[in-house]
A = this chain, B = another copy of it.
Amino acid sequence: MKVKFNREQLLNAINIVSKAVSSKTTMPILECILITAFEDHIVLTANDLELAIETSIKEKCQVISQGRTAVEARLFSDIVRKITADADTDITVETDGSIVIISCGSSEFRIQEKDPDQFPALPEINEDQYIVCSQFTLKEIIKDTIFSIAPNDSNKLMTGELFEVQGNKLKAVSLDGHRISIRSVELKQDYGSHKAVIPGKTLSEIQKILPGEAEKEVSIYFDRSHVMFRFDDTVMVSRLIDGEYFRIDSMLSTDYETKVNVNKKDFLEHIERSTILIRETDKKPLILNIKDMEMNLRLNSIVGSLNSNILINKSGKDLMIGFNPKFILDALRVIEDEEVSLYMTNPKAPCFIRDDEGSYIYLILPINFNPAAY
């Protein structure tokens, strides 16, 4: 195999597939990038057996002789990054026996080839069931929900997100036992009904590599145990998480006794303030004392206390309720509305932050506290 790449194009492709390079594995081949040179284009592939990414380079490259090779991803990436300081230069990659020669100008690197035949093939995906949405939309719904997946897998399903399609509606759901995040969008057409629990890692990686332009699309294919994303010159295939996702509908209620409208930026800043006093070993609730025109925020911890007031618009009953401030913060940080609405019933029932259109719902469970102490 002998190919010539434009450095910038190659680096871009390496950055994309690197997201599926395994960092800790007992199989060294999973730390590699597979380079396959076809007649008129070159494909880079990485596959850590959970997630596989393949991207094609079609422009500013030249295939001098076809073939394929595998190289250690980190080393290859470092070499391409540093072999020239000029972004727009050609880099030649050539195999010679079991050696891969990477050269540019007067500099030549020789590194060991890894056996490309050991490289695991991408899973075959049935392309019958799919939806199409804009790259921007997919990035948005991931950003708006990814923060409330559970970080470790005491319950595997909580480490992923439910993607549910019903006709022209796509809904993403994540939950961690303390809160639920739901983001819904309308698709341009009817796509039937599909359900898949996609690993959090897959979603955060695609969020990083998707250019995210509103006028460009991404197709999402739902197979029995895999999901595939196809956009631009890239294909990403991920395993799904097995099992029936939590039934959340029974937890969602539109009844409330207290409704608060508050300026989002103000509310966010007040809550950020309260987190200063929280220590890993001393997780105290933030107490919201909701009265007619004002919400009083208090937090008492071993390091000190905060007392802060914020103007609100309230309808319904007065209420005193406690939360982990981080959970409210996470939701407020992704909401783009100028004003948010909080719906509450009593100090033991969940608080809902949602908009009128139903495009987002954040359910947050309150924390018990002793009202006499505040």
Q: Which residues of A are at the interface with B, using a C-beta cutoff of 8 A?
A: 72, 75, 78-79, 82-83, 85, 106-112, 265, 269-270, 272-273, 276-277, 303-310
Contact = CB atoms under 8 A, between A and B. Distances in A.
B107 A270 contact: yes
A60 to B, nearest CB: 22
Contacts of A303: 72, 75, 111-112
Given A82-B272, A82-B273, A276-B78, A109 B310 contact: no
A310 B106 CA distance: 7
A108 B75 contact: no
Contact of A75 (B79, B85, B270, B304): B304
Contact of A273 (B107, B272, B309): B107
Nearest to A107: B308
Listed from nearest, the 9 A-B pairs whose CB atoms lie closest are A111-B304, A107-B308, A106-B309, A78-B276, A110-B305, A108-B307, A82-B273, A85-B269, A109-B306
B273 A108 contact: no
B111 A79 contact: no
A272 B269 CA distance: 44
Contacts of A308: 106-108
A233 B265 CA distance: 36
Contacts of A305: 109-111
A111 B276 CA distance: 11
A276 B82 contact: yes
Nearest to A302: B112
Nearest to A299: B109
